[in-house]
A and B are shown apart, each in its own frame.
Chain A
């Protein structure tokens, strides 16, 4: 056990890409075991990729790439502005509400931050927000947006842990709403203190026009959730329908998708899928080795011997996720830790749906955690602010988010209520 785990940690420290650190450490572990042929590397890699559920990944990536045109984010932000721009906190609220819309059509948090940031940060700067304050609000909102389904993290978590992706999506709604309201409240107090004036109230005619113009984009989440939650589509089918829908809307209605754009979107989808899937394959080989060597059982015994149960484990998990996902860009960090932590959670009786939501919530914070979070740098690049300037504004938001994350971690009801009432999930032992 110790050999492959030590090799893995050393490889990560050296800077070996996660997929290869996982796979390479597993190879060394296999070599140390008698009678296991190395061909198992090929069969486990093939077995990990050869999955219809995971096909949702390239389709959600493709749908996101195709929706990532300037026109769609502009339309969604205009809708958010006419709806909540006049409330105290003005543009800050527009960012948060707009992020909910945008996250509802895209599965990638980094893409959400880039799309909403590039529309809203310049506009906030024009209205008297400092670059650092604008960047902080976009970063916090994007961290909340990861909980709004569809979410790539949930698709990957669901497929590698055999948790229902539909249930994970449904479970994300209430935590996302909680997070959004907490951020809006925080933001309103902040804006009042800074003396920022809201926008003028929009007329109902303007609202109707903005809604009409954003309607085609807003139908994407309706297709995805209506399809999955209504039991019509599997997540993979919903994802492919969303991708084709995005193509049709982009080509024929918004007329923004040109052949060169489409080619680039297809290639980028292939490359991103390859990167993600190779990590999943590496995690699959490594997870198999961890199971064979009974690592999670050993760790669970150690934790219990030290007097810790599920509560200590959840607190530990939140702390580990917070640091690890900031260091390793979320998804790679998740794939690196699931082979050990998910079986450990099972040993300790932590429900995997709840654990997945806690993991996703913390990831939203980590991705924007100064000084390393990868999402933070996207926002800073757009705003033209330094890490130091933005940290002053961002840390209070992240603290609010961490409090909400802990509430979500210790009140599992928030996770369960939506999927259970929709009949998508049955909590074990209830």
Chain B
């Protein structure tokens, strides 16, 4: 079970990295094409800004989830550095993880609700409904929760979600 979770965690991390590279390349190309079409050709692209904004929502949510695995989120670590005893630092780690997981669960549920609602709204310039960009919210929250779970499985429930990676392979 433990090995399966960690293997999925690694695979998920790889998928996130590849997706991020593709999405960042795409958003750069689309936005550059918009600038190019506006200043160089006389025929400005009208759909590019909306595509770029929706890609950005996906990049943010996947990037924020991937940052969990790479322990990239910023937080204050003074109290943890001062905590001398193991039981205190376990308690700090546990409380932090619960707080973070709690917010992610709210974001997941609210994200699912809004995605369902957005299925009735059509985008202004694209042949899609707003479900497509909204879906990034629950997907990102779920991926982040999974990384949090994998961290618990690997390092124990009291491990702080901000602690240095021991299985992250660069980025």
**Closest chain B residue to A43 by CB distance?**
B114
Report which of B32, B57, B63 forms a contact with A240, defined as CB distance below 8 A: B32
CB distance from B65 to the nearest CB of A (A): 7
Does B147 sit within 8 A of A, measured CB to CB?
no
**Closest chain B residue to A56 by CB distance?**
B31
**Closest chain B residue to A270 by CB distance?**
B20
The interface residues of chain A lying within 8 Å CB-to-CB of B52 are: 52, 55
The number of chain B residues with a CB under 8 A from chain A is: 61
**Closest chain B residue to A244 by CB distance?**
B32
In the complex, the answer to whether A17 meets B137 with C-beta atoms within 8 Å is no
In the complex, the answer to whether A55 meets B27 with C-beta atoms within 8 Å is yes
The interface residues of chain A lying within 8 Å CB-to-CB of B17 are: 267
**Closest chain A residue to B22 by CB distance?**
A266
Does A108 sit within 8 A of B, measured CB to CB?
no
Does B119 sit within 8 A of A, measured CB to CB?
no
**Closest chain A residue to B18 by CB distance?**
A267
Q: Mark A40-52, 1 if CB is under 8 A from B, else 0.
A: 1111011001111
In the complex, the answer to whether A15 meets B80 with C-beta atoms within 8 Å is yes
Does A243 sit within 8 A of B, measured CB to CB?
yes
The interface residues of chain B lying within 8 Å CB-to-CB of A270 are: 20-21, 23-24, 59, 62-63, 66
In the complex, the answer to whether A277 meets B171 with C-beta atoms within 8 Å is no
In the complex, the answer to whether A21 meets B28 with C-beta atoms within 8 Å is no
Interface centre among A15, A49, A243 (most CB of B within 10 A): A15
Q: Mark B42-84, 1 if CB is under 8 A from A, else 0.
A: 0000000100111011011111111100101111111110000
Report the Cα distance A18→B67, complex, angstroms.
Answer: 13
Report the Cα distance A328→B162, complex, angstroms.
Answer: 14
Report the Cα distance A82→B148, complex, angstroms.
Answer: 52
The interface residues of chain B lying within 8 Å CB-to-CB of A38 are: 106, 109-110
CB distance from A184 to the nearest CB of B (A): 33
Report which of A49, A243, A263 forms a contact with B60, defined as CB distance below 8 A: A49
Does A351 sit within 8 A of B, measured CB to CB?
no
CB distance from B56 to the nearest CB of A (A): 6
Report the Cα distance A240→B110, complex, angstroms.
Answer: 33
The interface residues of chain B lying within 8 Å CB-to-CB of A158 are: none
Chain A interface secondary structure, helix, strand, loop or mixed? helix
The interface residues of chain A lying within 8 Å CB-to-CB of B137 are: 42, 45-46
Q: Mark B24-38, 1 if CB is under 8 A from A, else 0.
A: 110110011011000
| CB contact list, A245-281 vs B, under 8 A | 263-264, 266-275, 277-279, 281
Report which of B27, B64, B79, B99 forms a contact with A58, defined as CB distance below 8 A: B27
In the complex, the answer to whether B75 meets A50 with C-beta atoms within 8 Å is no
The interface residues of chain B lying within 8 Å CB-to-CB of A328 are: 74, 76
The interface residues of chain A lying within 8 Å CB-to-CB of B171 are: 264, 267-268, 271
In the complex, the answer to whether A263 meets B21 with C-beta atoms within 8 Å is yes
The interface residues of chain A lying within 8 Å CB-to-CB of B103 are: 20, 23-24, 27
**Closest chain B residue to A279 by CB distance?**
B74
**Closest chain A residue to B140 by CB distance?**
A274
CB distance from A109 to the nearest CB of B (A): 15
If A59-B31, A271-B67, A277-B64 touch, does A15 touch B21 (CB 8 Å cutoff)? no
Report which of B54, B70, B77, B114 forms a contact with A15, defined as CB distance below 8 A: B77
In the complex, the answer to whether B20 meets A277 with C-beta atoms within 8 Å is no
The interface residues of chain B lying within 8 Å CB-to-CB of A281 are: 60
Report which of B54, B56, B75 forms a contact with A18, defined as CB distance below 8 A: B75
CB distance from B105 to the nearest CB of A (A): 10
In the complex, the answer to whether A42 meets B114 with C-beta atoms within 8 Å is yes
In the complex, the answer to whether A17 meets B56 with C-beta atoms within 8 Å is no
- A sample of 21 cross-chain residue pairs with beta-carbon separation below 8 angstroms, ordered by A number, consists of A17-B73, A17-B74, A17-B161, A18-B73, A19-B64, A20-B99, A20-B100, A24-B102, A46-B133, A49-B57, A54-B56, A55-B31, A237-B35, A240-B28, A244-B32, A264-B170, A267-B24, A270-B63, A273-B24, A274-B60, A281-B60
Q: B residues within 8 Å of A by Cβ?
A: 17, 20-21, 23-25, 27-28, 31-32, 34-35, 39, 49, 52-54, 56-57, 59-67, 70, 72-80, 92, 95-96, 99-100, 102-104, 106-107, 109-111, 113-114, 133-134, 137, 160-162, 170-171
Q: A residues within 8 Å of B by Cβ?
A: 11-21, 23-24, 27, 38-43, 45-46, 49-52, 54-55, 58-59, 62, 232-233, 236-237, 240-241, 243-244, 263-264, 266-275, 277-279, 281, 327-329, 332
